C-alpha cells in the first residue's frame, strides 16, 4: 500500500524488485527455517540462508543505499522499498542481521575508508557473518560495566574476557566488540573493535542452550587473543559513543540500510486461521466472544504499528522526531509476544504438543514462538530499559542513572 510519492526512479525500482522476487523465488529449504536470524542453528539453515542473501545482494535488493565503493547500490530511499517487497513476497529472512543492521551502518559512520572497503561488502553480501560482543556476565543492561580487557601490544591489542548471549557467534567471521582499554573511566575507558572470530587463536565459541531447548547463541571466551590495531573502529576511548551508534540502528530507531522485514498484518490472519480450526467449550474458537475480542486487540495493535511507521515519515504529524521511532523495538517485540501467547491460548490443549508431535497445530509454532519471543523482549536493551529511554529522551523525565 502507501506507495504514492515515490520518485520515478524509486517507482521503477519497486516494480523491478517485485518482479525479480516473483521470478526468483528461492527453492524450498532443506529443513525448517527459524523465525528470526538470531535463531539460526544448523549449517544446513546457514548455507541456505547465506545463499539467499547473496542472491538478493547480487540482484540489488540488499545494501541498495550504501555507496557503490563498499558494495552498495549507491541509491537513496531504495532499501525501504526493497524491504517492503521482500516482506510482501514472504521471502526467507536475511541471515546476516548483525552485519546488516549493526556492523555495516556503524562502520559507515565511524570507519576509515579502508575499513569501509574491507568490511562492508562481505556484510552486505552475507559472505562474512557478523556477531555482536557487547554483553558480558556482569554487563547486561548496565552495558558500560565491561570487564573484557584489551591491552596494546605493538600493532595489536591483546584481548582477555568473556562475552555472553552472542547470537550467530558459531558462524561468525567477525565480531563487533567493545572492550575496556582503561580502568580509570567507566564510559571513556571503552574502545570498539572489529574482532576476527573464526579460526582465531585464543578465541573459543561455546554454544548455550536456549529456553526452547535449541542452541542459537553462544558464549565467546577471549584468552590472549590478538586483534590488529587496524581493526579498531574510531579512537581509543570512544567505544561508548560508537556503541551508541550501533544500538540506535539495532533498536530500529534509525532506518538502517539493511534488508528483510516482517509484515505486521499477517500474524492476525494466522490467529484467525488457528481459531477457525480450534475448539473451545464445544464450539469453534472463532465463535468464542472472548477469543474474538483478543484477536481483534492484536489486529488493532498490528495495524497501529503499521500506521505508526507511516506517520513517522510525516513530520507535520509527529511532535518529536524520535517519538515514534524509539517505540518500535518495544512495540514490535511485545506484539510478537502477545500474538504468540494468544496463539497458545487458542490452541488450548494442543498447545502442549512439541513441534515433533504430529498433532501439534501449525507444526508446533505457537508455544515455541511464545518462548522464543522473550529473546526479543530481553535482547537489544530489555523492554524495561526501552521504557526508561522513551520516558527520558522523549518525555524528558529524570534519568535513571
Partner 1 sequence: MTETQPQKMPADFGFGPDEELLRDSARKFLDQEMPVEKLRRLVAEDPDAVYTRGEAPAWDEKLWKQMVELGWTGLAVPESAGGVGFRSVGVAALVEEVGRHALPSPLLSTLASSYVLREALTGEPSPAAAWLGRIADGAAASLAITNARGSWEPGESGVIAEAEPGGDGLRLHGSAHFVQDAGKAELFVVHAIRDDGSYLCVVPADSPGLVVRPDHIHDLTRDQATLVFDDVPVTNDQVVSREGAAALARAWPALLVLVAADLCGSSEWQLQTTVEYARTRKQFDRPIGFFQAVKHPLSDGMVMIDRARSLLYHAACCIDSGSNEAETAARMAKSAASDAGAYLSDRSVQLHGGIGFTWECDVHLFFKRSLHNQALYGDAVHHRRKLADLLIGPI
Minimum CB–partner distance for residue 305 and ligand FAD (Å): 21
Give me the count of residues in the chain: 401
Q: How many angstroms separate the CA atoms of 97 and 321, rounded?
A: 25
Are 171 and 40 contacting, i.e. CB atoms less than 8 angstroms apart?
A: yes
Matching residue, cell 537489544: 380
Minimum CB–partner distance for residue 123 and partner 1 (Å): 30
Helix or strand run (H / E) with residue 297 = helix 289-311
Are 231 and 82 contacting, i.e. CB atoms less than 8 angstroms apart?
A: no
* DSSP symbol at 60: T
- Active-site residue, from 15, 223, 250, 384: 250
Q: Which phi and psi (to 5°) does residue 390 adopt? A: -60, -45
Pick what 378 binds: partner 1, ligand FAD, none; C-beta below 5 to 8 Å, kind-dependent. ligand FAD
| Nearest residue relative to ligand FAD (C-beta) | 140
Q: Pick the stretch among 163-171, 253-261, 356-364, 390-398 that binds ligand FAD (CB under 6 A).
A: 163-171
* 36 interacts with ligand FAD by CB under 6 A: no
Site for ligand FAD in 138-157 (CB under 6 A): 140-141
* 379 interacts with ligand FAD by CB under 6 A: yes
Pick what 324 binds: partner 1, ligand FAD, none; C-beta below 5 to 8 Å, kind-dependent. partner 1
Q: How many angstroms separate the CA atoms of 287 and 280, rounded?
A: 9
Pick what 158 binds: ligand FAD, partner 1, none; C-beta below 5 to 8 Å, kind-dependent. none
Are 243 and 190 contacting, i.e. CB atoms less than 8 angstroms apart?
A: yes
Q: How many angstroms separate the CA atoms of 340 and 346, rounded?
A: 10
Q: How many angstroms separate the CA atoms of 17 and 130, rounded?
A: 26
Identify which of residues 229 and 384 has a Cβ nearer to ligand FAD in the complex.
384
| CA 134, chain centre distance (Å) | 15
Among residues 378, 390, 391, 393, the one that binds ligand FAD under rule CB under 6 A: 378
With CB under 6 A, what is the number of residues at the site for ligand FAD? 21
Pick what 307 binds: partner 1, ligand FAD, none; C-beta below 5 to 8 Å, kind-dependent. partner 1
Among residues 21, 38, 86, 177, the one that binds ligand FAD under rule CB under 6 A: 38
| Positions that interact with partner 1 (CB under 8 A) | 1-5, 268, 272, 275, 286-287, 289, 292-293, 295-297, 299-301, 303-305, 307-308, 310-311, 313-314, 316-317, 323-324, 327, 330-331, 384, 386-388, 390-392, 394-400
Pick what 193 binds: ligand FAD, partner 1, none; C-beta below 5 to 8 Å, kind-dependent. none
Please tell me whether residue 96 adopts helix, strand or coil conformation.
coil
Are 225 and 158 contacting, i.e. CB atoms less than 8 angstroms apart?
A: yes
Among residues 53, 84, 166, 337, the one that binds ligand FAD under rule CB under 6 A: 166
Catalytic residue status for 18: no
Among residues 91, 132, 146, 264, the one that binds ligand FAD under rule CB under 6 A: 132
Q: How many angstroms separate the CA atoms of 181 and 222, rounded?
A: 15
x/- map, 219-258, ligand FAD, by CB under 6 A: ----------------------------------------
* DSSP symbol at 136: B
* DSSP symbol at 168: T
Identify which of residues 38 and 179 has a Cβ nearer to ligand FAD in the complex.
38
Identify which of residues 27 and 282 has a Cβ nearer to partner 1 in the complex.
282
Pick what 311 binds: partner 1, ligand FAD, none; C-beta below 5 to 8 Å, kind-dependent. partner 1
Question: DSSP H helical segments within 126-258, as ranges?
Answer: 239-250
Tell which residue, 34, 11, 4, has the closest CA to residue 215: 34
Minimum CB–partner distance for residue 188 and ligand FAD (Å): 20
How many other C-beta atoms can be found within 10 angstroms of the C-beta atom of residue 25? 10
Minimum CB–partner distance for residue 140 and ligand FAD (Å): 2
- Residue 46, classified by CB atoms within 10 Å of its CB into exposed (0-12), middle (13-18) or buried (19+), is middle
Q: How many angstroms separate the CA atoms of 155 and 63, rounded?
A: 32
Which residues belong to the active site?
Answer: 250
Residues that bind ligand FAD (CB under 6 A): 38, 131-135, 140-141, 165-167, 217, 375, 378-379, 381-382, 384-385, 388, 400
Amino acid at each position: 500500500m502507501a506507495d504514492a510519492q515515490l520518485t520515478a526512479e524509486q517507482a521503477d525500482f519497486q516494480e523491478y524488485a517485485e518482479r525479480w522476487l516473483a521470478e526468483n523465488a528461492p527453492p524450498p529449504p532443506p529443513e525448517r527455517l527459524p523465525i528470526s536470524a538470531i535463531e539460526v542453528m544448523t549449517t544446513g539453515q546457514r548455507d541456505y540462508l547465506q545463499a539467499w542473501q547473496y542472491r538478493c545482494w547480487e540482484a540489488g535488493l540488499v545494501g541498495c543505499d550504501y555507496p557503490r565503493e563498499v558494495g552498495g547500490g549507491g541509491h537513496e530511499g531504495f532499501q525501504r522499498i526493497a524491504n517492503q517487497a521482500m516482506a510482501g513476497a514472504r521471502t526467507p529472512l536475511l541471515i546476516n542481521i548483525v552485519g546488516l543492521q549493526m556492523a555495516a551502518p556503524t562502520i559507515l559512520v565511524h570507519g576509515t575508508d579502508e575499513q569501509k572497503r574491507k568490511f562492508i561488502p562481505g556484510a552486505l553480501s552475507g559472505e562474512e557473518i557478523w556477531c555482536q560482543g557487547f554483553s558480558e556476565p556482569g554487563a547486561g543492561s548496565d552495558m558500560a560495566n565491561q570487564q573484557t580487557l584489551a591491552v596494546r601490544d605493538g600493532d595489536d591489542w591483546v584481548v582477555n574476557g568473556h562475552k555472553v548471549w552472542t547470537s550467530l557467534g558459531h558462524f561468525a567471521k567477525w565480531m563487533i566488540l567493545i572492550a575496556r582499554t582503561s580502568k580509570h573511566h567507566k564510559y571513556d575507558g571503552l574502545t570498539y573493535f572489529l574482532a576476527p572470530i573464526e579460526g582465531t587463536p585464543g578465541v573459543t565459541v561455546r554454544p548455550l542452550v536456549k529456553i526452547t531447548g535449541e542452541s542459537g547463541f553462544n558464549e565467546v571466551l577471549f584468552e590472549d587473543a590478538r586483534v590488529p590495531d587496524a581493526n579498531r573502529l574510531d579512537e581509543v576511548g570512544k567505544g561508548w559513543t560508537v556503541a551508541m551508534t550501533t544500538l540506535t540502528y539495532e533498536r530500529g530507531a534509525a532506518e538502517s540500510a539493511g534488508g528483510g522485514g516482517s509484515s505486521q498484518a499477517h500474524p492476525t490472519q494466522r490467529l484467525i486461521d488457528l481459531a477457525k480450526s480450534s475448539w473451545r467449550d464445544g464450539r469453534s474458537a472463532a465463535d468464542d466472544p472472548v477469543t474474538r475480542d483478543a484477536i481483534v486487540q492484536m489486529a488493532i495493535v498490528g495495524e497501529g504499528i503499521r500506521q505508526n511507521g507511516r506517520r513517522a515519515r510525516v513530520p507535520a504529524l509527529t511532535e518529536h522526531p524520535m517519538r515514534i521511532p524509539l517505540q518500535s523495538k518495544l512495540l514490535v517485540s511485545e506484539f510478537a509476544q502477545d500474538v504468540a501467547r494468544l496463539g497458545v491460548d487458542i490452541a488450548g490443549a494442543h498447545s502442549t504438543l512439541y513441534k515433533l508431535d504430529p498433532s501439534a497445530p501449525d507444526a508446533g509454532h505457537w508455544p515455541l514462538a511464545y518462548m522464543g519471543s522473550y529473546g526479543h523482549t530481553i535482547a537489544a536493551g530489555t523492554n524495561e530499559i526501552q521504557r526508561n529511554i522513551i520516558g527520558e529522551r522523549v518525555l524528558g523525565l529524570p534519568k535513571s542513572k
